[in-house]
Amino acid sequence: MSSANRGYAGVPAWIYVVAALGGLLVLLPLGAMLARVNWGRFIPLITSESSLTALWLSLRTSAASTILCVVLGVPLALVLARGSFPGQRVLRSLVLLPLVLPPVVGGIALLYTFGRQGLLGRSLEFAGIQIAFSTTAVVLAQTFVALPFLVVSLEGALRTAGNRYEAVAATLGARPTTVLRRVTVPLVLPGLASGAVLSFARSLGEFGATLTFAGSLQGVTRTLPLEIYLQRETDADAAVALSLVLVLVAVIVVGLSRRPSRSTNLGAAP
């Protein structure tokens, strides 16, 4: 690293100043929150029954929505990256919509789909399935907002990898499903992993859609972000302590996602 920096840096010095400002914009608020942590009460606050219940619920629902994202997102990314059909560009834009939509809008949309009075809600209720106010609703909300992260990461990895190896495998007589299983998926596995980690992170942070669509009940629908929002009403120390827990989980998750994505780039370099 140091030997590389000794030559031409390529970045004017003033860029570093502006970049430092950008970095501060992110780091300073996190530092300010860290300064507000009541360390004496920290352990009791984060190990209280309601906190642990919320954390456990968050981890379980985020894991479930990550699995859903992989199951639904991998075919979607394949179709978008490799397929060719009318309306492909439109479909890509629409699938990515939850990335830019305010989550509360997603919540309202889900309500009018799976809610009691919703598009599918009536038939579901007739079949004995009630989604509103259930943990299923939390998972649906999280999957809705997290799916684009997986699709974007994986589609990018698929395009970077190219289809040369797949073409070769096909000329050697492999059927499409075999090519997918033996060539495509192993090739983009790092991209898929980082996409899955990002989906997990987004699910963990989901707030607006859950609040609008699923409600808030301890152990059923009150995930960690909802618990923080509620604690803030009466106990700022508890809200700060729980926020720090989410920051720590986020740091771990981002750390995990950075490593495989770097190896993807190296693998795709030649």
Which residues, including other chains, have CB under 8 Å from residue 162's CB and lie 6 or more apart?
Answer: none
CB-nearer residue toward other proteins: 205 or 208: 208
Q: Residue 217, interface with other proteins (CB under 8 A)?
A: yes
> Could you tell me if 65 and 142 are in contact, meaning their C-beta atoms sit under 8 angstroms apart?
yes
Which span sits near other proteins by CB under 8 A: 8-16, 65-73, 184-192, 206-214? 206-214
CB-nearer residue toward other proteins: 155 or 206: 155
Neighbours of 55 (CB within 10 A): 20
Q: Residue 88, interface with other proteins (CB under 8 A)?
A: no
Q: Residue 216, interface with other proteins (CB under 8 A)?
A: yes
CB of 101 to other proteins, least distance (A): 14
Q: Residue 60, interface with other proteins (CB under 8 A)?
A: no
Residue ranges in 220-239 that form contacts with other proteins under rule CB under 8 A: 221-222, 226, 229-234, 236
CB-nearer residue toward other proteins: 55 or 169: 55
Binding site for other proteins (CB under 8 A): 92-93, 96, 111, 115-117, 132-133, 152, 155-156, 159, 211-212, 214-218, 221-222, 226, 229-234, 236
